[in-house]
């Protein structure tokens, strides 16, 4: 029950997937602490490599070690009032997360990740990171979360027509690929941006693709949609919802009628690719709800080669993804 409660809480938090996975591994006691490595017969002693006084369990590394307590001591009092005698990290996490609001839960998870990173810097590099640096970086992250959260609440106070123009998650077991193209006429460069997310709004992969040459805007949008499909096919996605803000291209893909336009051949190739998916849809969305792909496309203009990111998105869209995840959580 504790595992289910903790997982239910952290899964809805607007955090990078890597942070959520790390925290869940900590709760399941599978981090490579000295105590766990001893059980696997990798090391001969279980003692903490920093304080060298106690066995390094997960709760010791992330909470009880002096290297951890100096960070928690600089943080909020709500984290300092938890009993830790004889508890494991899962119980500690349940105690804290069950009484924290969303903002403090984000802070707690993020600090735990940073404490483990600080521990590894000491063990592997001999580098000592000042606890104030950890606090400052984490506070900066949470302030961004708070700013975005306030923006979403503000959006919920405006008219219904404005609220509806935002990114929405696809149906269960579907993936949504948003695409866009951006152009810089002075240099003749084009950037393609693709953001693929799952039914919970989690980023699966993002693509930025620069191109040289004079592209007519609609043709450029057709290329962007084509590359979005290709990437999703390569990922093995079965149920794809393709979404963009170029209505001409969306309508062309959904239609079997040729328009004798410059992008007809691209649309034909796109349909051929889409027909390899067991299930697919192609839809139009206004620019306001396609912001992540649009910003990715603009950033791609100045790239020198194709770039792909995994489930931790590029910095240029991190705030947008965070805001849209918060909006989804408010719908639940």
In three-state secondary structure terms, 301 is coil
pTM more than 0.85: no
Residues facing residue 280 across a β-bridge: 240
Binned at pLDDT 50, 70 and 90, residue 115 comes out as very high
Provide the pLDDT for residue 257: 77
pLDDT band at 206 (very low <50, low <70, confident <90, very high): very high
Alpha helices, DSSP H, located in the chain: 2-11, 17-27, 34-39, 58-59, 66-72, 89-99, 102-120, 131-155, 160-163, 217-234, 247-254, 264-274, 291-300, 318-331
> Where residue 59 falls among pLDDT bands split at 50, 70, 90?
very high
Both tokens of 271, joined, read 């349909």
227 token code pair: 């590359």
CATH of domain 175-318: 3.30.420.10
pLDDT of residue 164: 46
**Residue positions counted in the chain:** 332
Whether residue 6 has pLDDT greater than 90:
no
The most confident of 2-6, 52-56, 103-107, 318-322, by mean pLDDT? 52-56
What CA–CA distance (Å, rounded) separates 270 from 290?
20
Best-predicted range by mean pLDDT (12-21, 72-81, 171-180, 251-260): 171-180
Please report, for the chain, the start and end positions of each structural domain, with discontinuous segments joined by +: 2-127, 175-318
**13-48: per-residue pLDDT in tens?**
777 777 888 998 999 999 999 999 999 999 999 999
Tokens at 313, concatenated: 């998105």
Rounded to whole angstroms, the Cα distance separating 66 from 183 reads 53
3-state DSSP assignment of residue 190:
strand
For residue 78, give every residue at least 6 positions away whose Cβ sits within 8 Å of its Cβ, in sequence order, or none.
96, 99, 100, 104
Report the mean per-residue pLDDT for the chain. Answer: 85
């Amino acid at each position: 029950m504790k595992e289910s409660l903790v997982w239910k809480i952290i899964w809805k938090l607007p955090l990078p997937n890597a942070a959520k996975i790390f925290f869940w591994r900590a709760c399941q006691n599978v981090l490579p602490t000295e105590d766990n490595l001893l059980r696997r017969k990798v090391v001969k002693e279980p003692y903490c490599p920093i304080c060298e006084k106690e066995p390094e369990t997960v709760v010791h590394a992330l909470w009880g070690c002096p290297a951890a307590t100096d960070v928690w001591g600089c943080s909020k009092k709500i984290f300092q009032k938890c009993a830790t005698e004889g508890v494991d990290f899962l119980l500690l996490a349940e105690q804290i997360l069950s009484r924290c609001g969303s903002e403090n839960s984000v802070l707690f998870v993020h600090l735990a990740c940073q404490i483990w990173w600080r521990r590894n810097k000491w063990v592997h590099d001999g580098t000592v990171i000042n606890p104030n640096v950890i606090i400052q970086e984490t506070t900066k992250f949470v302030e961004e979360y708070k700013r975005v959260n306030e923006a979403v609440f503000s959006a919920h106070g405006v008219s219904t027509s404005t609220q509806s123009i935002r990114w929405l998650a696809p149906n269960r077991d579907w993936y949504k690929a948003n695409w866009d193209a951006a152009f810089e006429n002075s240099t003749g460069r084009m950037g393609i941006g693709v953001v693929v997310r799952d039914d919970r709004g989690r980023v699966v992969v993002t693509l930025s693709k620069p191109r040289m040459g004079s592209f007519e805007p609609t043709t450029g949008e057709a290329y962007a949609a084509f590359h979005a499909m290709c990437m999703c096919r390569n990922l093995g996605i079965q149920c794809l919802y393709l979404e963009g803000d170029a209505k001409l291209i969306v309508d062309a893909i959904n239609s079997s009628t040729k328009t004798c336009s410059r992008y007809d051949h691209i649309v034909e190739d796109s349909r051929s690719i889409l027909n390899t998916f067991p299930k697919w849809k192609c839809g139009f969305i206004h620019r306001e709800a396609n912001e992540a792909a649009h910003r990715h496309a603009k950033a791609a203009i100045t790239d020198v080669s194709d770039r792909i990111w995994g489930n931790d998105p590029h910095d240029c869209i991190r705030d947008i993804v965070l805001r849209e995840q918060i909006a989804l959580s408010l719908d639940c």
